[in-house]
A and B are shown apart, each in its own frame.
Chain A
Amino acid sequence: MYDSDLEILLVEDNPNDAELTIRALKKKNLANKIIHLKNGAEALDFIFCEGNYKSRNINNKPKAILLDLKMPKVNGIEVLKKIKTDNRTKTIPVIILTSSAEDPDVKTCYELGVNSYIVKPVGFDNFSKAVADLGMYWLLLNKPL
């Protein structure tokens, strides 16, 4: 499955958030090629084809990465940094998922070259709308280079 056309990579440690995100994407028919990874370390292995994902073809890039910032072990910022400093991956659009726009990390992410961010609002309606809109935007309107 990893070698088939990859649409969206979701990196989210919170299973509830992950489920709600996937559900929102599904509603927009964007969930058929989604891969959910549960922490930053796993995400890096996947993106750079290391560890359990050694056999994966690195050129099969996701069209967008939805990246949660606050994760155990390797956090979102570190993942973003690696993606944006590697020539093979830096063109992949990365959308940060954050709980608050006040988060000082958002600024750091922009400095690192993030393409967009979504505040995960408490209200579910808003959240699914935001996720879906952004997902659509990056997948359909902003084709990766």
Chain B
Amino acid sequence: MKNNLESISLNFDSLLDINPSLYIVITTNLYIIGVSEAFINFTFTKKNKIMGKELLETFPFFENNISANIENNFNLSESIKCVIENRKPIKTEAQKYKIPIPANYIEKYLELNIIPVLFEKNEVLCLIIKIEDVTEFEKMKKNLDEQMKRRNELEMSEKLHINELNKSELRFTKLFNLSPIPIFLINISDLRIVQANKYFSNLVHLNSNQIIGKTGFELGIFDMMNYEKLTKSIIKSGGKISEFEINIFNDVKEIRKMQISSEMIEIDNCFCFLIAMNDITQQKQLENNLLEFNHFLDTVLENIPNSVFVKDANTLNYIKINKAFETLFNSSQNELIGKTDYHLFSKEIADEQQKLEKEIIENKKLSIVDEEPFVSQNGLKWIRTKKIPVYDNNKPLYLIGISEDITERKKQQDSILQLNKELEAFSYSVSHDLRAPLRAVTGYAKILDEDYSTILDNEGKRILHTISENAEKMGHLIDNLLTFSRLGRKEILKKETDMNEIVNKAISEINKSTTHNSTIVYNNLHPIYADTELMVQVMINFIENAIKYSSKVLEPLIEIKSEITGNEVIYCIKDNGAGFDMRYYDKLFGVFQRLHTMDEFEGTGVGLAIIQRIINKHGGKVWAEGKVEKGATFYFSLQTK
């Protein structure tokens, strides 16, 4: 065995000596049997001093490594035992060793590679320890670490700044991509598109591959002339333009009107124009519509016969007047705009006017003003003006005035008033002057009858009687006619009216002058909002009629009922009398129109005409149904309120 080892050792010697690496060859019991020349030099020893010696006794530093990491602490003898047991090499990590040199020691980082040399039967013959001096490498590594650390620190300190930069760039990108308006960037030098956001893509129906690198011309989406104008004005303005309008056509020939604004920016050391677009198609359309509508309004305003003005609500200066206003006041737009009423009217009138208009603006209420009559170039004029205050969020803006020339109406009204007066005088004179001779006729006929009846024969008496009768009839006619004409002029005073009471009153009024045997049935009549006095008149006439026309039947019955339909009350007065022929319905309500002769039923033909006049004045309706000898039913309807 020893021989064998020696022979191997010799062979090792020659092998190890030429190897520039550090080697030690040991037996399994740690005796050095070989060492490389390089190791001898490295440890400042002599080969003969160490050969055959125990390894750890000879080089105790192997056991005293000063690894920084305790857990990695490495024990050579233990490791060797492991290698022998497992017959597998072990490589240690770099450890720091204090290696003695003459009068000193050096620190080295060493990696140990323990390799078993296997013999027959898998027996470990010896072990080779290859030592690698990794000091330089470790130093470099340490250096690098430090540098890295310093750099990290540096970076940390600079990080804030860098972050800011990153953030703003990030922000830009985000904004660029997310902004809901189409944006693209063109290179300042060749005007080619560098970037375009997805809204731009969507707008022009092109993907980014079709866009990037192209010029605006090449995209075929712009009107060439306009795009050239756009780029020129961008360049001319140093990149900053706004409110430039351009049309964009996409592949479906849809035209969108865009408003362009641009800025020059620097991205990745490259100067670009950022071109942002605002789709104003709809806005333009609205503007156009508004313009058209305004034009329409202007046309209407200019051509309507009413004169119209618009005043500033604060200064009461005229802002706009129309043609009719110009004509009426013999003034012109140019002359009046910016001026007040003091330019048109006398101080007193203008004072009054402004006071009133200020009130209207303050009260926020439309009001209709009958202006004082004034002298125009066409004579005296009466004007009625609707004054409308206009606000924006409670802030008074304008006062609009729409005037109506009511001169004609006024004249007509005056003439109607005049006519009414004349009619009244006429009625008065009819009532007085027409009656006086009638009174004389009846009066003297009576004297004749009273004082001279002994001289008159029967025929004479009959003639005298006819004279008085006719004179009295004429008196009734005059009375009825007067009532009828009086109703035309009478003002209606509506109030809550109990119709049961009205009917009651009417019946007792009738009973004063007439005797009859009619049964009149009524109860729970709906109340109505009407002129009480006139309603009594209506009921008197209806009931009188019913009594009269049912006077010839055996058991005259008059029924009065009411019902509500919607917002109306319908009253009906039904009798079982003579009725009437519906063929002559048209004549039923006419003045002095009668469907019966005097011999059949007396009457003047004014009763129903009076009823119709009263009900019509109340805004209601009158109608009737009848059948000859089967009675008649009269209806009238009135609004509940």
Measured CB to CB, the residues of A under 8 A from B are: 14, 16-17, 19-20, 23, 70, 99-100, 102-103, 120-125, 127
Lowest 7 CB-CB distances: which A-B pairs, in order? A122-B475, A16-B440, A100-B431, A124-B446, A20-B443, A99-B432, A124-B443
Contact of B482 with A100 in the complex, beta carbons under 8 Å:
yes
Contact of B439 with A16 in the complex, beta carbons under 8 Å:
yes
A102 to B435, CA, bound (A): 13
A122 to B468, CA, bound (A): 9
B342: Cβ under 8 A from any A Cβ: no
Contact of A120 with B439 in the complex, beta carbons under 8 Å:
yes
A125 to B475, CA, bound (A): 14
Interface string of B408-448 (1 = CB under 8 A from A): 00000000000000000000100110011111101111110
Chain B residues lying within 8 Å of A100, measured Cβ to Cβ, are 431-432, 435, 479, 482
Instruction: Supply 15 A–B pairs (Cβ within 8 Å), ascending by A.
Output: A14-B436, A16-B439, A17-B443, A23-B447, A70-B432, A99-B435, A99-B436, A100-B482, A103-B432, A121-B439, A122-B439, A122-B471, A123-B442, A123-B475, A124-B439
Interface string of B464-487 (1 = CB under 8 A from A): 000010011011001100110010
Contact of B472 with A122 in the complex, beta carbons under 8 Å:
yes
Identify the closest chain B residue to A21 (Cβ).
B443
Q: DSSP class of A's interface residues: helix, strand, loop or mixed?
A: loop
Q: DSSP class of B's interface residues: helix, strand, loop or mixed?
A: helix
Chain A residues lying within 8 Å of B435, measured Cβ to Cβ, are 99-100, 120, 122
A135 to B479, CA, bound (A): 25
Contact of A103 with B431 in the complex, beta carbons under 8 Å:
yes
A121 to B442, CA, bound (A): 10
Identify the closest chain B residue to A120 (Cβ).
B439
* Known pairs A16-B443, A20-B440 / 11 extra A-B pairs, C-beta < 8 Å: A14-B436, A17-B443, A20-B439, A99-B432, A102-B482, A120-B439, A122-B442, A122-B471, A122-B472, A123-B475, A124-B443
A25 to B549, CA, bound (A): 40
Name A125's contact: one of B432, B446, B483 (CB within 8 Å): B446
Name, among A100, A123, A124, the residue most crowded by chain B CB atoms within 10 Å (CB to CB): A124
A100 to B472, CA, bound (A): 14
Identify the closest chain A residue to B471 (Cβ).
A122
Known contacts A122-B442, A122-B474: A16-B436 contact under CB 8 Å: yes
Chain A residues lying within 8 Å of B472, measured Cβ to Cβ, are 122-123
A17 to B438, CA, bound (A): 10
Contact of A127 with B482 in the complex, beta carbons under 8 Å:
no
A67 to B432, CA, bound (A): 15
- B497 nearest CB across to chain A (Å): 23
Contact of A121 with B475 in the complex, beta carbons under 8 Å:
yes
Chain A residues lying within 8 Å of B440, measured Cβ to Cβ, are 16-17, 20
- A26 nearest CB across to chain B (Å): 12
Known contacts A102-B482, A102-B486, A103-B428: A17-B436 contact under CB 8 Å: yes
Name B431's contact: one of A14, A16, A17, A99 (CB within 8 Å): A99
Chain A residues lying within 8 Å of B474, measured Cβ to Cβ, are 122
Chain B residues lying within 8 Å of A125, measured Cβ to Cβ, are 446
Identify the closest chain A residue to B440 (Cβ).
A16
Known contacts A122-B472, A122-B474: A17-B439 contact under CB 8 Å: yes
Contact of B439 with A102 in the complex, beta carbons under 8 Å:
no
Known contacts A70-B432, A103-B431, A122-B438: A16-B482 contact under CB 8 Å: no
A100 to B427, CA, bound (A): 11
Chain B residues lying within 8 Å of A124, measured Cβ to Cβ, are 439, 442-443, 445-446, 468
Contact of A127 with B431 in the complex, beta carbons under 8 Å:
no
A20 to B447, CA, bound (A): 9
- A128 nearest CB across to chain B (Å): 8
- A40 nearest CB across to chain B (Å): 15
Chain B residues lying within 8 Å of A70, measured Cβ to Cβ, are 432
- A67 nearest CB across to chain B (Å): 14
- B257 nearest CB across to chain A (Å): 77
Chain B residues lying within 8 Å of A102, measured Cβ to Cβ, are 431, 482-483, 486
A93 to B582, CA, bound (A): 56
A28 to B483, CA, bound (A): 33
Chain B residues lying within 8 Å of A14, measured Cβ to Cβ, are 436
- B178 nearest CB across to chain A (Å): 88
- B604 nearest CB across to chain A (Å): 14
- A99 nearest CB across to chain B (Å): 4
Contact of A16 with B432 in the complex, beta carbons under 8 Å:
no
- B534 nearest CB across to chain A (Å): 14
A23 to B439, CA, bound (A): 14
Identify the closest chain A residue to B446 (Cβ).
A124
- B450 nearest CB across to chain A (Å): 9
Interface string of B210-223 (1 = CB under 8 A from A): 00000000000000
Identify the closest chain B residue to A27 (Cβ).
B450
A125 to B450, CA, bound (A): 11
Interface string of B609-636 (1 = CB under 8 A from A): 0000000000000000000000000000
Chain A residues lying within 8 Å of B437, measured Cβ to Cβ, are 16
- B445 nearest CB across to chain A (Å): 7
Name, among B437, B443, B444, the residue most crowded by chain A CB atoms within 10 Å (CB to CB): B443
A70 to B440, CA, bound (A): 16
Interface string of B542-575 (1 = CB under 8 A from A): 0000000000000000000000000000000000
A13 to B439, CA, bound (A): 14
A14 to B445, CA, bound (A): 17
Interface string of B166-189 (1 = CB under 8 A from A): 000000000000000000000000
A19 to B431, CA, bound (A): 20
Identify the closest chain A residue to B476 (Cβ).
A122
- B262 nearest CB across to chain A (Å): 88
Chain B residues lying within 8 Å of A16, measured Cβ to Cβ, are 436-437, 439-440, 443-444
- A21 nearest CB across to chain B (Å): 9
Name, among B437, B438, B439, B472, the residue most crowded by chain A CB atoms within 10 Å (CB to CB): B439
